[in-house]
Amino acid sequence: MDQKIYAVIGTGAIGGYYGARLHHGGHDVHFLLNSDYQFVRQHGLKVDSHYGDYSIPADAIKAYNASEEMPKADVVIVALKTTQNHQLETLIRPLLTPNTLVLLLQNGIGGEQALTRLLNIEYTAGGLCFICSNKVGPGHIHHIDYGRLTLGVYGELGMPALTSVANDFHNCGVEVDVENSILDARWKKLLWNVPYNGLSAVLDTDTAQIMACGETVSLVKAIMKEVCIAAKATGSTLDSSLIDIMLNNTAQMKPYLTSMLLDRRNGREMELQYMYKNVLDMAAEQGVDMPRTEALYQQLSFVNRSVANE
């Protein structure tokens, strides 16, 4: 097996789960932690998954609280919230080699372009995580459902490296698709995230409650249609038939507390720039109005400000 050195920046619900899968697949994985560092060093990383146990004991996990102490990496997986993207250059720069692939497992759109410019590198990659996973305690991840990754590259020269990483995930038991364009992949994820993350946070409820009310289901569908129109105006091939597929899948899945709802309930800043503001700006540049999405963004901005002032 072609063993790479993986660095995981942000060992939470996403980074902890996928990093643990790579570790159990035999890869050399190094985890950067913040508040959980001492706990994980003493107790390891606990990952409860409906696929099985992917925990890493304390004597096996490679945990750090500063990226300067980590080895240079073949792949840097960024699993921080986009609200922390102002820290990325400081965190990633010590890990880079001329051939390092930086993979953003984040919500929203525009991150790859910004990071490529910031680091002055030829390409980056992005990943969309179709997963229900929450951090439920220090060093403790609860994987509830799903887990598929959709990966894409920003910069054509990065495709061979991305294909190799996709193979690693596949060999570790993770379902993975590779798209030619990261922008298409991101619009696909936004089709779900824009309505469900935002409405769950504004209404303070889970996905099952949203789907139990005919009026909110109609609103979700209307917002999805706006996202589709905006995506196509920017050159995406996003297929509007996905709307009904996503609605049906969400109706059938277990009740899920979205990441934005958890941020609100825990007094954390919500990811509005990359998930809403960038979307609205890109649509406006193409002359596309998104009135329902705009109204949702305005309500979320109020909630975000209220949380920050508590």
- Let me know whether 121 and 199 are in one domain: no
Q: Is 139 left (phi over 0), alpha (psi -120 to 50) or beta?
A: left
- Let me know whether 138 and 216 are in one domain: no
243/159 Cα distance (integer angstroms): 29
210/232 Cα distance (integer angstroms): 27
The last residue of a domain, from among 145, 164, 180: 180
> Judging by DSSP bridges, how do beta strands 140-154 and 46-49 pair with one another?
parallel
Q: Token match 């509830």: residue?
A: 144
Range of the domain at 292: 184-309
Residue from 72, 135, 189, 225 carrying the catalytic annotation: 189
Q: How is residue 271 written in tokens?
A: 């990811």
Q: How is residue 72 written in tokens?
A: 């240079």
**Total domain count, the chain:** 2
Under DSSP, the state recorded for 94 is G
41/56 Cα distance (integer angstroms): 11
Examine the residue annotation and report whether 189 is marked as an active-site residue of this protein: yes
- Let me know whether 110 and 158 are in one domain: yes
- Let me know whether 234 and 268 are in one domain: yes
> Judging by DSSP bridges, how do beta strands 124-137 and 176-179 pair with one another?
unpaired
Whole-model pTM: value is 0.86
Q: Token match 């979320």: residue?
A: 300
State the amino acid at position 262 in one-letter form.
Answer: L
- Let me know whether 40 and 156 are in one domain: yes
- Let me know whether 81 and 142 are in one domain: yes
- Let me know whether 49 and 30 are in one domain: yes
Paired with 24 in beta bridges are none
The last residue of a domain, from among 180, 211, 242: 180
Say how far residue 219 (Cα) sits from the centre of its chain: 24
pLDDT in tens, the chain (310 residues): 468 999 999 999 999 999 999 999 999 999 999 999 999 999 999 999 989 999 999 999 999 999 999 999 999 999 999 999 999 999 999 999 999 999 999 999 999 999 999 999 999 999 999 888 989 999 999 999 889 999 999 998 999 999 999 999 999 999 999 987 788 889 988 999 999 999 999 999 999 999 999 999 999 999 999 999 999 999 999 999 999 999 999 999 889 899 899 999 999 999 999 999 999 999 999 999 999 999 999 999 999 998 767 6
Instruction: Report whether 194 contacts 227 (CB < 8 A).
Output: yes
